[in-house]
Amino acid sequence: MDRRYDRPVTGAIDTHAHVQFPQFDEDRGPMLEECWRAGIEAMIVVGTDIPSSHAAVELATTDPRLFATAGVHPHDASDYDGQAEEALRTLAHERAIVALGEMGLDFYRNLSPRAAQEEALGRQLALAAEFELPVVIHTREAVAEATILLREWTAGLPEAFTRPYGVMHCYSGTVEQAHELVGLGFLVSIPATITYPRNDVLRHVAAAVPAESLVLETDSPYLPPQSRRGQRNDPRHTLDAAATVAEVRGQPQDEIVRITTSNARRLLRL
């Protein structure tokens, strides 16, 4: 299958969806067809551990509009060992893989000790540098701590590894932190939670960050837009995020879709 993705922009790219998860087992095919019809032109199927990363690759081989990532989520950092790293190394060679992650720091739930999270993140960042693959970074109540590690990582990257170096998934930091991360070579990903009435901080971020540093996502099946609170999310709702970003920036929605799709292609070398 030809993995080149060089067609003209025809829709939005959901840069972060877990459509390989069991929540979609009963209707995955029809759900994907609805997404394509709704105006989603591609989506990134994101792994959170070794089994889900294998599943992401397997699903991505079924459709040229699907791409995959492989990584170990901070919740599972305690399980990151030599065997997991070797599995990621093998997965990194897969043609469907466009990034490593989801990796990062989550100090909200602390399901793995902080030291284990930091070690797992550091080792996965080293692997990404080796393969010159961008990274998908998860942070929750840990943006400042992650920024320190990412600053150290970017300082040691080879010249052949060009920007952008990765994406801040479901961004949850401040405007000031976003500007710092953009300066380090990261894009900021805006989920459909930007539609939540109390999420003023994310709307401020979406308005303040340069459009060339924004991408869109859903984190499906989680984090549905306000109109679907309590229901399963799916990649169609990338467009809900696009609509709100367009509103806060005072730009047409189709322009936001065009810019963020171009940014996603640049990030993931599509």
- Give the whole-angstrom CA distance, residue 81 versus residue 261: 35
What does each of the 270 residues of the chain score in pLDDT, given as a tens digit? 344 445 677 799 999 999 999 999 999 999 999 999 999 999 999 999 999 999 999 999 999 999 999 999 999 999 999 999 999 999 999 999 999 999 999 999 999 999 999 999 999 999 999 999 999 999 999 999 999 999 999 999 999 999 999 999 999 999 999 999 999 999 999 999 999 999 999 999 999 999 999 999 999 999 999 999 999 999 999 999 999 999 999 999 999 999 999 999 999 999
- Give the whole-angstrom CA distance, residue 177 versus residue 132: 25
Q: Which residues pair with 99 in a beta bridge?
A: 69
DSSP labels for 38-94?
HTEEEEEE--SSHHHHHHHHHHHTT-TTEEEEE---GGGGGG--HHHHHHHHHHHTS
Q: Which one-letter DSSP state was computed for residue 213?
A: G
Q: Which residues pair with 189 in a beta bridge?
A: 215
- Going from the N-terminus, what domains does the chain have, and what CATH number goes with each? 12-268 (3.20.20.140)
The pLDDT score that the predictor gives to residue 8 is 72
Residue 121 · residue 103 · CB < 8 Å: yes
Locate 186 and state its tokens. Answer: 């990261």
The pLDDT score that the predictor gives to residue 10 is 79
- For residue 243, report the phi and psi dihedrals to the nearest 5 degrees: -65, -40
Query: SS3 sequence, 163-175?
Result: CCCEEEECCCCCH
The pLDDT score that the predictor gives to residue 6 is 58
The pTM (predicted TM-score) of the whole model is: 0.96
Query: SS3 sequence, 132-150?
Result: CCCEEEEEECCHHHHHHHH
The pLDDT score that the predictor gives to residue 11 is 96
**What is the identity of the amino acid at 174?**
T
Q: Which long-range contacts (CB under 8 A, 24 or more apart) does 251-258 make?
A: 251/211, 256/211, 256/214, 257/9, 257/11, 257/12, 257/39, 258/9
- Give the whole-angstrom CA distance, residue 142 versus residue 162: 25
